[in-house]
Amino acid sequence: MLEETLILFRNIRNPDYDKSLKGYKKAGGLKALKQALEMQPDEIVQLTKDSGLRGRGGAGFPTGLKWSFMAKDTGKPTYLVCNADESEPGTCKDRELMLHDPHQFLEGMMISCLAIGCRHGYIYVRGEYWPSIKSLNAALQELYDDGILGKKLLGKGPKLDLTVHPGAGAYICGEETALLDSIEGKRGHPRVKPPFPAVSGFNACPTTVNNVETLTCLPFIVNEGAEAFKAFGPENNAGPHLISLSGHVNKPGVYEVRLDANLKDIIYDFGGGIPNGKQLKGVIPGGASSSVLTADEIDVTYSFDALAQAGTMMGSAAIMVFDEDTDVVKLLHRIVRFFSHESCGQCTPCREGTHWARMIIRDFLNGNGNEHKLKRLHRVGGNMMGTTVCALGDACGMPIQSFTTKFADEFRDVQALAA
């Protein structure tokens, strides 16, 4: 039986936990920040590198390495922007941290600011998350009132301010350069790279963008050391991981796991299996943009590397489960409708392709599909992949290609039924 590792959720799973600053301190909070204040920035970066921490936003890029890319001595301020624009369908892990244990996350953010020499950090929270925004603002107020944030961090460190910045409803702003455009007060269009944010980010200053969960790992790493963090999870997949489990499972929820757990066990142990005694049809293992796995493909280790080998990805660790009665054509329609709605529209293949694909799938839903359209849908999906500025083209293309390949017969059934 799989059990949760309780690192990030240590406090959250404690029913008596008081999420105020007082409660957080009582639970041992801010110790890591005090320690980090005694360290050189380079030491924090090195420690993070050693810990093997990889970004929890979806791409899995090594965090310490990302920090080390920050342009130095530019004469410009450096920024840490936290990506709390949790918007990949299926993902709702960051909001748990922001809602129920904001101080742990903020401590991680403060440590990270020290590591990259940031004096004003921004937390870009998706606009719909008003409860999370209120929770963070209340926590920040406590930190200011207590003299922890402000002119001198913890009363003796460098100046540090943190500001919560609400988004306004755009999935694409979860893409880090679109997020930077958005926080600058513009439309959120992903930027062409290079230059990378580490050289030219927020207001053209060196910037690192990190996910909430990524930053929340920092207090543990500083407190317990890189090795202790590495010890959670297999090689190259270090540390605890939050997964969001949704869809047709008995116990949907956000769970903290080691990345050596089996996907099947996650679904059956944490999720408690499929409701109403139904059979599993398939799993979308890493957010709406990941390739779908069929029921007989789920005996796979849930890690960055193992999922990549299985031809899909861990992405933002959002597992969506669907049972035997699910209409996959409708499911794909929902996925593609989402990407078509969220495309910023700047790149030709994504702007035109997401909409076109949606129209073709709608034909299938209306019983107007045929073999030719199925091929075309597959091709349109493929033509969006690898041909756009950001990954949204791929994000829409991958599910299209995997659904039309793995569930091709169901598309044919729809047309047979209609005929």
Partner 1 sequence: MPVFHLDGQPVEFEPGEKVLSAALRAGVEVPHYCFHPGLSVVATCRMCLVDVVDMGNGRPMPKLQTSCSMDAVEGMKVETKNTKTLEAREDVMEFLLINHPLDCPICDQSGECVLQDYSFEHGTGKSEMEYAKRVYGWRDVGTFVALERNRCIHCTRCDRFTREVTGTNEFGMYNRGHELTVDTYADRPMTNKFQGNMADICPVGAITDKEFRFKRRVWRLKKTPSICTGCSTGCNVTIEYDKNEVFRLKPRENPAVNRWWMCDEGRLSYHVMNERENRIMKPRGRVQGELQPISFEQAYQALAERIAALNPGVGGALVLTDTNASNEALFMLRKLAQDGLGAEQVFCPMPDWQQPDSDFFIDSLITTDKTSNRAGARELGLTGVADTAELKTTLETNPRVVIVLGNPFEHATELREKISKTQLIVAISPLFNGWTELADVVLPGQLHSEQDATYTNKQRRVQRTHIAVQAPRQTRPEWQILAELLLALDKDAGLDSADAVLQALGQAVPTFEGLSLSRFSEAGVLLPGEANDPGRSVVDTRTAAA
Partner 2 sequence: MLALDTQKEIAQLLSRYPIKRNALLPILHVVQKGNEGYLTPELLEEVAGICEVSQTHVEGVISFYTMYKLEKPGKFHLQVCTCVPCCLVGGEELLEHVEQQLDTHAGHTADDGVFSVEEVECLGACSYAPAVIINEDYHEQMNPEKLDRLMDELRTQGQAHA
Cα 170 from chain centre = 15
Please give the order of strands across the beta sheet that includes 161-166. 161-166, 120-125, 79-84, 207-211
* Options 46, 158, 387, 406; binder of partner 1; rule CB under 8 A: 387
Residues sharing a CB contact under 8 Å with residue 335, sequence separation 6 or more, in sequence order: 89, 288, 396, 399, 403
Decide if residue 381 touches partner 2 (CB under 8 A): no
Q: Does 169 bind partner 1 (CB under 8 A)?
A: no
Residue 204 binds to partner 2 (criterion: CB under 8 A): no
Q: Which amino acid is at 221?
A: I
SS3 content of the chain, % helix, strand, coil (to 5): 45, 15, 40
Total residues in contact with partner 1, by rule CB under 8 A: 29
Q: Which of 105, 304, 124, 67 is nearest to 218 (CA)?
A: 105
Instruction: Give yes or no for residue 186 binding partner 2 (CB under 8 A).
Output: yes
Q: Which of 216, 326, 343, 354 binds partner 2 (CB under 8 A)?
A: 326
Q: 47 touches which of partner 1, partner 2, none (CB within 5 to 8 A by kind)?
A: none
CA distance 286 to 187: 27
Q: Between residues 219 and 393, which has the closer beta carbon with respect to partner 1?
A: 393
Asked if 337 is part of the footprint of partner 1 (rule: CB under 8 A), the reply reads: no
Count Cα atoms within 13 angstroms, Cβ side, for 218: 31
DSSP E strand stretches across 76-206: 79-84, 120-125, 161-166
- Residue of the chain from 376, 406, 412, 413 that contacts partner 1 (CB under 8 A): 376
Q: In this chain, which stretch among 113-121, 259-267, 287-295, 384-392 interacts with partner 1, using CB under 8 A?
A: 384-392
Please tell me whether residue 359 binds partner 1 under the rule CB under 8 A: yes
- Number of shown-chain residues binding partner 2 (CB under 8 A): 55
Stretch of residues binding partner 1 (CB under 8 A), selected from 1-9, 115-123, 251-259, 350-358: 350-358
Among the listed ranges 29-37, 115-123, 240-248, 353-361, the one in contact with partner 1 (CB under 8 A) is 353-361
Instruction: Provide the terminal-to-terminal Cα distance of the chain, rounded to the nearest Å.
Output: 47
* Binding positions for partner 2, 101-160, rule CB under 8 A: 126-131
CA distances from 6 to 31, 87, 253, 351 (A): 18, 24, 15, 42
DSSP 3-state of 378: helix
Tell me if 297 contacts partner 1 by CB under 8 A.
no
Among 15, 185, 194, 277, binds partner 2 (CB under 8 A): 185
Residue 315 tokens read as 């992405």
Query: CA 171 to CA 142: how far, in whole Å?
Result: 30
Q: Are 236 and 242 in contact (CB under 8 A)?
A: no
Query: Which listed range, 40-48, 184-192, 264-272, 303-311, lies at the site for partner 1 (CB under 8 A)?
Result: 184-192
Compute how many other C-beta atoms are within 10 angstroms of the C-beta atom of residue 93.
26
Residue 167's binding partner out of partner 2, partner 1, none, with CB under 5 to 8 Å set by partner kind? partner 2
Question: Is residue 187 involved in binding partner 1 (CB under 8 A)?
Answer: yes
What does the alpha-carbon distance between residue 202 and residue 212 come to, in Å, rounded to a whole number?
A: 18
**Contact assessment for residue 106 and residue 220, using Cβ atoms and an 8 Å cutoff:** no
**Of the two residues 181 and 297, which places its CB atom closer to partner 2 in the complex?**
181
> In angstroms, rounded to a whole number, what is the distance separating the alpha carbons of residues 59 and 140?
28
State in angstroms the smallest separation of the CB of 355 from partner 1.
4
**Residue 352 interacts with, from partner 2, partner 1, none (CB under 5-8 Å by kind):** partner 1
- Using CB under 8 A as the binding rule, whether residue 207 contacts partner 1 is answered as no
Tokens of 260: 């050596």
Which positions touch partner 2 (CB under 8 A)?
A: 77, 86-92, 95, 126-131, 161, 163, 165-171, 182-188, 203, 244-248, 252-254, 284, 288, 318, 320, 322, 326, 330-331, 334-335, 337-338, 341-342, 344
Which positions touch partner 1 (CB under 8 A)?
A: 170, 172, 187, 189, 192, 194, 340-349, 351-356, 359, 376, 383, 386-389
